[in-house]
Amino acid sequence: MSQTPFQTVPAPPAAPAVAARAVNVTKVYGEGDNAVYALAGISVDFRAGEFTAIMGPSGSGKSTLMHCLAGLDAASGGSIVVGGTELTSLNDKQITELRRDRIGFVFQSFNLVPTLTALENITLPLDIAGRKPDEQWLNAVIDRLGLRPRLGHRPTELSGGQQQRVACARALVGRPEIVFGDEPTGNLDSRSGAEVLSILRAAVDDFRQTVVIVTHDPRAASYADRVVFLADGRIVDEMRRPTAERVLEKMIHLDELVAR
Ligand SMILES: Nc1ncnc2c1ncn2[C@@H]1O[C@H](COP(=O)(O)OP(=O)(O)O)[C@@H](O)[C@H]1O
Ligand SMILES: [Mg+2]
């Protein structure tokens, strides 16, 4: 494996097989009569080197869970550990650094900087962190994602699928401990969506990356090794080796449960 600046930091004793863990995580928005219990006690592990999809009806807490896991939002209770670090023990500055150095993100809306080229967008998080990209790794990611001919283009000169591939490269280039995606294919046509999902799948298979996405698309979920189903802020089921058909069936069942 090639050396990256991050890997020169002493590893925690016994490399964690669990990339992220939530234990009894709760999230309450608002207070008193207005309180909304978005997460009602979630416990879940995300194994290193696995691709997990989080699914559930609208409003079931998927985005909230992902934001809490990724340190974008604070949980109201419980414990969240990412790569051996307990998030609740960190101050704001430490959380910001953990997000920057150890977590990759792919958002539905791409979130690229419009004034920067594709290449500048890809290396931006490393530049901000004052880290030099591992050139060999950077080139491997660029080629694997087919971005070589687009590196000098700005986001407006790229299709949605190309923009999301740039966002994937940006998420992968720092070799984060975990990559989170909130509906990463939500704004893409089915062909571009499939391309992005294949890239995330390859990141797991070829680069041993850990990936967790939120999706409402059973076909997107079928790229994952495992699907975790949420309803009303709770984990209600999970499925290994999902197929689109089995996931769709489960989702219809969950929607019926929630509608009751
Ligand atoms: N900032 C917020 N303030 C108040 N309620 C919120 C906020 N964000 C989410 N919620 C509520 O929390 C619940 C879960 O939301 P969310 O995690 O966005 O669900 P999902 O991503 O599964 O659609 C919903 O009832 C939603 O209305
Ligand atoms: Mg959401």
Mean pLDDT of the chain: 91
**Does residue 57 have its Cβ closer than 6 Å to ligand 1?**
no
Q: What are phi and psi of 108, to 5 degrees?
A: -55, -40
Closest CA to 123 of 80, 74, 173: 173
Q: Closest residue (by CA) to atom 3 of ligand 1?
A: 29
**Contacts made by residues 10-18, CB under 8 angstroms, sequence distance 24+:** 12/83, 12/84, 15/48, 16/48, 16/83, 16/84, 17/47, 17/48, 18/45, 18/46, 18/47, 18/48, 18/81
| 3 band by pLDDT with thresholds 50, 70 and 90 | very low
* pLDDT tens figures, 162-197: 999 999 999 999 999 999 999 999 999 999 999 899
Give dist(CA 172, CA 70) in Å, integer: 15
Question: The pTM is what?
Answer: 0.90
How many C-beta atoms surround the C-beta of residue 29 within 10 A? 13
Give the residue ranges of DSSP H helices in the chain: 62-69, 92-102, 118-129, 135-144, 160-173, 190-207, 218-221, 244-259
| 124 band by pLDDT with thresholds 50, 70 and 90 | very high
User: How many helices and strands in the chain, by DSSP H and E?
Assistant: 8, 10
Can you give the pLDDT at residue 6?
47
**Within a 13 Å sphere around the CA of 215, how many CA atoms are in the beta-carbon half?**
31
**Does residue 34 have its Cβ closer than 6 Å to ligand 1?**
no
Rounded distance from Cα 5 to ligand 2 centre (Å)? 33
Closest CA to 19 of 92, 73, 70: 70
Q: Helix or strand or coil: residue 223? A: coil
**Does residue 108 have its Cβ closer than 6 Å to ligand 1?**
no
Q: Provide the residue type at 226 as one letter.
A: R
Rounded distance from Cα 108 to ligand 2 centre (Å)? 10
Given a contact cutoff of 8 angstroms between Cβ atoms, the answer to whether 102 and 210 are in contact is no
**Does residue 60 have its Cβ closer than 6 Å to ligand 1?**
yes
- Say whether pLDDT at 80 is over 90: yes
Lookup: tokens for 217: 């698309």
* Ion ligand 2: protein residues whose beta carbon lies under 5 Å: 63
DSSP percent split of the chain into helix, strand, coil, nearest 5: 40, 25, 35
| 14 band by pLDDT with thresholds 50, 70 and 90 | low
Closest CA to 216 of 42, 103, 63: 63
* Ligand 1 mutation target, pool 28, 63, 69, most atoms within 8 A of CB: 63
Lookup: tokens for 10: 């002493």
Distance of CA 68 to the CA centre of its chain: 12
**Does residue 56 have its Cβ closer than 6 Å to ligand 1?**
yes
Given a contact cutoff of 8 angstroms between Cβ atoms, the answer to whether 232 and 60 are in contact is yes
Can you give the pLDDT at residue 10?
53
**Does residue 163 have its Cβ closer than 6 Å to ligand 1?**
no
- Say whether pLDDT at 105 is over 90: yes
